[in-house]
């Protein structure tokens, strides 16, 4: 593990002189000669643009997709879920981003992940890379200060979601003192709600004593939805389709299962029915309210690649592969599903090719709420 | 449906004169006599404090918990997942919050949900209430303007996550013109990353043509994790425990299943093993790497209430209820699990009483990464 002060920023390293000192001074022993955090950011940006990072010119969409796709399929075929988590990757560290929370930290993670999507043109081909570090349940000023000192050493950008106003203020002051660029993610949102509701925020992080329990109606609804969805997966118990809020229909590898559990986490009871060539779907599929059935479709070339990867992961022999991932078979199966979808005109046909689970879920839930609320402008409404 | 201009703000209503006009002027026909958005917010806050909203004095923690708990259990026993979504509730509308996105809108939803947690002391007992409306995939200025006009009519607070800088600027200008309080959630985060990485954001919303596909290694890892977790649920296929990243152990109703699928969505392969009095756990539980086993425990009174609600939902007869939710049986079962946990000292014992799934997941994943990375300060790291 190399020291952070040498200029090379390794991942997950703690400089031992600082780490071993329980109370090092806030104004680090080697203060940087910079006027302000803003100036430091500009200087850093200039430094990077002037050569420390390769050109950021856009690849063509085709180049990017081809690369992404082959990477994804290769990853799937290599059995990526072998227990290796991303933080086990070796290699030179990327730009460092810290997320610090006195709660779970999931809000910071979600927002930063979404914002990083704006830099995919650079991240996907690893012309630049980013290492994020999420520190959750940071409820003591001492630990907060230690993290910010470490952020200064690693030249990290710090995002924080600290509900406790004293902790948020301490983080701000320490970051300013050490010239660490920082953003309070929840602060402006909470302030705006404060003005809007005319009620002061509690200042208590999630799970803190004194904060009301979150085990509300919504909580139980969500647990029941998850349990229902798991039991219904892959066409199991078709007699229960009537209890589902949403029924997904599609051939194998159209993301039915991950889509179902994703929406179940949001409180929807989702069932899915696989379409298999030569096997009729259960009669219940046509007996339930047809407004809750959603048909999934996918590009055949894309499907073939996914199925090939899947066959390898499952260790299928060459004969099984022929049936499952053979182009002729795939075309026939998709043609069969297309015909079925045409015969059932109430089912919206949702294209999943190249979409992340969240994107397909957004499309389905938008239609779901549109059909229920008959709003002029489709929206997903919720009462708190 | 009553018109918004009468002063009463109904939920999900669109004033037809405006809705039917495809291009109404931005400066609405009835501009409000307000100096600035800030002034308007203050005025509104004063108005609410002066009587339109009941006192916001804090309840005791015991009062809040008792109410929350009885509400939760009642909801569970009523079978809350009957397909009724929250937006079907009747009643007078609460304060209105709009979330507008040119992508899925999940980031705005997540952040606003987290920030609303700061107002739980007022929300849980319905002294105040909030109606959120999520508008996703808003990619045309005309639709954006229509939503902001509607927000002005409903006196809504608007949060937006608009990746397209022109859309973000248009939203800002329209909100300022109509005195609509507004917050750009992703803007400051993206700007900070721009400075930090020295790379310009693409300005393309998720799923837009030209934006690289998100079907990366992480995507396939996540799908495989979800599928693994579903197959392993409730002690199925113990021979596969060795493939899991995380194994959860606990008696019935300690959130094993929803916890498993929540963590699976984050890319972890999770298996769970139920502990049942009188049935030995599978031998594989003790053969796998003991560092990946997590024990769940719960307060017996809390567990009894959850099980009673569960029995009602499942329509169990009185005899079944006696065994499953009887206090003596619960105490014995928890005592058995406590002894087992003591015998297996490597298993961290995680308390789930009163915790939301996200909170328990944060605790488990923090220990998981701490054990793997041996960091001085526990963190969850990820390479982008």
CA distance, residue A170 to nearest chain B CA (Å): 19
Q: Which of A131, A223, A381 lies at the smallest CB-CB distance from B133?
A: A381
Q: Establish whether this prediction's ipTM goes over 0.95.
A: no
* pLDDT the model gives residue A65: 41
- Distance in Å, alpha carbon of A289 to nearest chain B alpha carbon: 12
DSSP-assigned letter for residue B191: H
Interchain pair A192, B181: CB under 8 A: yes
Mean pLDDT of B84-104: 71
Residue of A45, A200, A217 with shortest CB distance to B198: A45
CB contact under 8 A, B147 and A377: yes
Q: Print burial letters for A161-197: b (CB count within 10 Å at least 16), e (below 16).
A: bbbbeebbebbbebbeebbbbbbbbbbbbbebbbbbb
Tell me what pLDDT residue A315 has: 67
pLDDT band (50, 70, 90) for residue B57: very low
Residue with the larger pLDDT of the pair A211 and B44: A211
Partner-chain contact B195 A42, CB within 8 Å: yes
Q: A47: distance to nearest CA of chain B, Å?
A: 8
Contact A206 B150 (CB under 8 A): no
Tokens of A81: 């879920």
Q: SS3 for A235? A: helix
Domains and CATH numbers, chain A: 35-43+92-212 (3.40.50), 217-373 (3.40.50)
Nearest Cβ partner for A377 among B14, B212, B384: B14
Tokens read off for B341: 């946990």
Q: Given an 8 Å threshold on Cβ–Cβ distance, is B94 in contact with A185?
A: no
What is the DSSP code (8-state) at residue A160? Answer: E
Interchain proximity A86–B383, CB inside 8 Å = yes
Q: Which residues of B touch A269 (CB under 8 A)?
A: 81, 83
What is the rounded distance in angstroms from the CA atom of residue B218 to the CA atom of residue B227? 14
Percent of chain A with pLDDT over 90: 53
| List of chain A residues whose C-beta atoms are within 8 Å of the C-beta of residue B95 | 196-197
List the beta bridge partners of residue A159.
A99, A183
- The runs of H, that is alpha helices, within A154-299 are 165-177, 187-197, 217-232, 256-265, 284-287
Instruction: Determine whether the interchain pair B75/A216 forms a contact, defined as Cβ–Cβ distance below 8 Å.
Output: yes
For A207-224, the pLDDT digits (tens) are 787 776 655 677 888 999
pLDDT at B68 over 50: no
**Chain A nearest CA to B234, separation (Å):** 10
Q: Which residue has the higher pLDDT, B320 or A41?
A: B320
Q: Which residues of A touch B83 (CB under 8 A)?
A: 243, 245, 269
More confident residue, A323 or B344: B344
* pLDDT surpassing 90 at residue A92: no
- As a whole number, mean pLDDT of residues A171-184 equals 98
CA distance B49 to B258: 40
Mean pLDDT estimate for chain A: 78
- The beta-carbon neighbor of A230 closest among B114, B199, B257 is B257
Residue B125 has pLDDT above 80, yes or no: no
CA distance B314 to chain A (A): 11
Chain A CB contacts of B225 below 8 Å: 81
SS3 label, residue A135: strand
C-beta atoms of B358 and A193 within 8 A: no
Of A236 and A362, the structure prediction assigns the larger pLDDT to: A362
Contacts of B219 in chain A (CB under 8 A): 72, 356
Mean predicted confidence (pLDDT) in A182-208: 93
Beta-carbon contacts below 8 Å between A and B: 471
Instruction: Report the gap between the CA of B103 and the closest CA in chain A (Å).
Output: 8
Q: Are A269 and B226 inside 8 Å of each other by CB?
A: no
CB contact under 8 A, B80 and A221: yes
Q: How far is A347 from chain B (nearest CA, A)?
A: 18
Give the closest residue to A157 by CA, choosing from A287, A41, A48: A41
Cβ separation of B383 and A107 shorter than 8 Å? no
Looking at per-residue pLDDT, the higher value among B67 and B8 belongs to B67
pLDDT of residue A10: 33
Question: What residues of chain B lie within 8 A of the CB of A258, using their CB?
Answer: 222-223, 226-227, 265
pLDDT at residue B202 tops 50: yes
- Mean pLDDT for the stretch of residues A372-376: 76
d(CA A269, CA A267): 7
How large is the average pLDDT for residues A182-197? Answer: 97
Nearest Cα of chain B lies from the Cα of A9 at a distance, in angstroms, of 14
Set of chain B residues whose Cβ sits within 8 Å of the Cβ of A274: none
Phi/psi of residue B194, each to 5°? -55, -50
Averaged pLDDT, A321-346: 89
Q: A171-185, A238-252, B34-48, B184-198: which range is least confident on average?
A: B34-48
Residues 6+ apart with CB under 8 A from B56: A199, A200, B121, B122, B127, B128
Structure tokens belonging to residue B311 = 């029995």
Q: Tokens for B304?
A: 């009894």
């Amino acid at each position: 593990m190399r020291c952070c002060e040498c200029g090379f920023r390794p991942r997950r390293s703690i400089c031992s002189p600082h780490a071993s000192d329980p109370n090092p001074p806030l104004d680090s022993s080697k203060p940087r000669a910079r006027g302000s955090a803003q100036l430091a950011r500009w200087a850093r940006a200039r430094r990077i643009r002037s050569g420390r990072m390769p050109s950021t010119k856009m690849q063509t969409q085709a180049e990017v997709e081809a690369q992404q796709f082959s990477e994804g399929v290769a990853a799937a075929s290599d059995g990526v879920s072998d227990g290796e988590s991303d933080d086990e990757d070796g290699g030179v560290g990327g730009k460092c981003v810290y997320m610090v929370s006195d709660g779970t930290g999931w809000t910071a993670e979600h927002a930063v992940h979404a914002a990083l999507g704006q830099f995919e043109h650079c991240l996907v081909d690893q012309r630049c890379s980013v290492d994020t570090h999420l520190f959750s349940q940071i409820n003591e000023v001492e630990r907060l200060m230690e993290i910010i000192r470490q952020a200064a050493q690693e030249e990290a950008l710090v995002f924080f979601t600290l509900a406790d106003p004293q902790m948020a203020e301490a983080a701000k002051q320490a970051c300013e003192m050490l010239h660490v660029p920082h953003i309070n993610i929840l602060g402006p949102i909470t302030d705006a709600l404060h003005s809007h509701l005319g009620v002061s925020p509690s200042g208590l992080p999630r799970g803190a004593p004194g904060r009301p329990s979150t085990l509300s109606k919504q909580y139980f609804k969500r647990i029941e939805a998850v349990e229902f969805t798991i039991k219904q997966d892959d066409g199991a118990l078709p007699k229960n389709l009537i209890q589902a809020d949403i029924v997904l229909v599609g051939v194998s590898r159209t993301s039915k299962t991950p889509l179902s559990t994703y929406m179940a986490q949001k409180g929807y009871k989702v069932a899915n029915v696989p379409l298999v060539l030569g096997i009729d779907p259960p009669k219940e599929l046509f007996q339930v309210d047809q407004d809750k059935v959603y048909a999934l479709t996918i590009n055949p070339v894309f499907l073939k690649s996914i199925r090939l990867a899947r066959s390898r992961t499952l260790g299928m022999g060459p004969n099984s592969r022929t049936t499952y991932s053979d182009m002729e078979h795939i075309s026939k199966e998709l043609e069969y599903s297309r015909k079925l979808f045409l015969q059932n005109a109430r089912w919206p046909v949702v294209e999943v090719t190249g979409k992340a689970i969240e994107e397909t879920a957004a499309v389905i839930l938008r239609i779901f709420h549109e059909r229920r609320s008959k709003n002029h402008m489709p929206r997903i409404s919720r009462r708190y």
